[in-house]
Amino acid sequence: MALYRISGVWKNSSNVITHYAFHTVGEESVTRASKVSKARAIELLETKGNSATTWA
């Protein structure tokens, strides 16, 4: 089970999201952003117990 924060997106020339800036949330810290493809983001969030919220 993992908790993620999403802090940004990358878009292609057609304005379609291609990647996300993902941070892994730990008990006392949060990782630096990792550029995650849209396909990988879907895989992570479809895994039972994983969740993400956006960072405002």
Residue 55 has a pLDDT of 86
pTM recorded for the entire structure: 0.87
Q: Is the pLDDT of residue 56 over 90?
A: no
Confidence bin at 53 (pLDDT 50/70/90) = very high
Number of helices (H) and strands (E) in the chain: give both, helices first. 1, 4
Of 28, 19, 21, residue with least CA distance to 4: 21
Six-digit token string for 2: 């993992």
Of 20, 12, 54, residue with least CA distance to 40: 20
Which tens digit of pLDDT belongs to each residue from 1-51? 899 999 999 999 999 999 999 999 999 999 999 999 999 999 999 999 999
